[in-house]
Amino acid sequence: MLLSIPDVLSPEQVAEARRALDRAAWVDGVVTAGHQSARAKNNQQLPEDSETARRIGELVLAALQRNPVFMSSALPLRVFPPLFNRYKGGQSFGTHVDNAIRQVPGTAHRVRTDLSATLFLSQPDEYDGGELVVEDTYGVHTVRLPAGSLILYPASSLHHVKPVTRGARVASFFWIQSMVRDDGERTLLFDLDMAIQKLVRETPDHAAAVQLTGVYHNLLRRWADL
Ligand code: NI
C-alpha cells in the first residue's frame, strides 16, 4: 500500500521545524547509507545525534501518535527516530532499496523496516524536481506533497528521489516496524477499519458495526506480532 496522509504537522509545526532545520549544521547524507545505497545517495542530512534532529524528531513522533490514519494504516510497533535530509543544487538519490534492519543509535533496539515514510517539510513551490518515485507491484508512483504531509510505502519497494534543480527540498524520513509485517494483511485491516468507520458515521446504530469491529479485532489478533 502506498498512502499519502495530509496534515500530519500543522502549518505552525512545519514553520517551527523549518526554523530549526534551516539554522542547523548539515552533513553529507552518506553517513546513514548502506553499502550499496551510498553510491546512489547525494544529499545532505542532519547528524543523528544532533540536538535539532532529536527535538524536531520528537515533535514528529508526537504528531504521528495523534494521527488516526497513520495509526490505522501503519499499526506501528516501533518507529525509528526520524532523520532529516535536504536536497539542493541538483542533488538526488538514485534507485535503491532500504536496509531491512536498522539499529536505533545508542540503544540495543533494532527496527525491522516494514514501512518507509517521508514527511515533506518544504512547500512544492519552494523547489523544482525532487519527486519521490516508488516502484511497487502496481507500477511507478511519483510523489510530491505539501509541507506537513506524509507518504507511507512498503520499505521493500525500489525507490529514488529525482534531482532538485531549484531551491531546497527538506524532509524527514524514517521507518516503521509494524505489528502486522505483511503489507497485504495490513492493507486489508486498514480497508476494513475505514469501512467500519464510514458505516458508523452514516448509520450509527447499525448492528453489523459491532460484528465487523469483532472481525477486525479477531483478524488483528491473528496477524499481529508484538
Ligand atoms: Ni530509501
Instruction: Please give the pLDDT value at position 37.
Output: 73
Q: What average pLDDT does this structure show over 66-76?
A: 98
Q: Mean pLDDT score of the chain, rounded to an integer?
A: 95
Tell me: the pLDDT tens digits for 98-131?
Answer: 999 999 988 999 999 999 999 999 999 999 999 9
Instruction: Give the distance (Å) from ligand 1 centre to CA of residue 159.
Output: 6
Q: What is the residue whose three cell numbers read 476494513?
A: 192
pLDDT tens digits along 130-179: 999 999 888 999 999 999 999 999 999 999 999 999 999 999 999 999 99
**From the CA of 69, how far away is ligand 1's center (Å)?**
22
Calculate how far, in angstroms, residue 45's C-alpha sits from the geometric centre of ligand 1: 13
CA of 161 to the centre of ligand 1 (A): 9
Question: What is the model's pLDDT at position 22?
Answer: 95
- Greater pLDDT, 137 or 60: 60
CA of 160 to the centre of ligand 1 (A): 7
Please state, for a pLDDT cut of 90, what percent of the chain lies above it: 89
Report CA(98)–ligand 1 centroid distance (Å): 5
Ion ligand 1: residues, Cβ under 5 Å: 98
- CA 226 / ligand 1 centre spacing (Å): 25
In the reported structure, the alpha carbon of residue 222 is separated from the centroid of ligand 1 by a whole-number distance in angstroms of 30
Q: What's residue 48's pLDDT?
A: 87
pLDDT at position 31: 77
| Cβ burial 173-191 (10 Å sphere, 16+ → b, else e) | bbbbbbbbbebebbebbbe
Q: Could you read off the pLDDT of 177-213 as tens digits, one per residue?
A: 999 999 999 999 999 999 999 999 999 899 999 999 9
DSSP codes of every residue in 60-80: HHHHHHT-HHHHHHH-EEEEP
Cβ atoms of 150 and 70 closer than 8 Å: yes
Cα of 13 from ligand 1 centre, angstroms: 24
In this prediction, residues 222-226 reach a mean pLDDT of 97
Q: How far is the CA of 156 from the centre of ligand 1 (A)?
A: 10
- Ligand 1 centroid, distance to 209 Cα (angstroms): 39
At residue 129's C-alpha, the angle toward residues 123 and 130, to 5°, is 70
- The string of DSSP letters for 154-190 reads ETTSEEEE--EEEEEEEEEEEEEEESS--HHHHHHHH
pLDDT at 200: 95
Q: What pLDDT is attached to residue 30?
A: 82
- The CA 37 to ligand 1 mean position distance, Å, reads 8
93 — pLDDT class (breaks 50, 70, 90)? very high
Q: pLDDT (tens digit, 9 = 90+) per residue, 23-41?
A: 999 999 887 777 767 778 8
pTM of the model: 0.95
Looking at residue 137, what is its pLDDT? 83
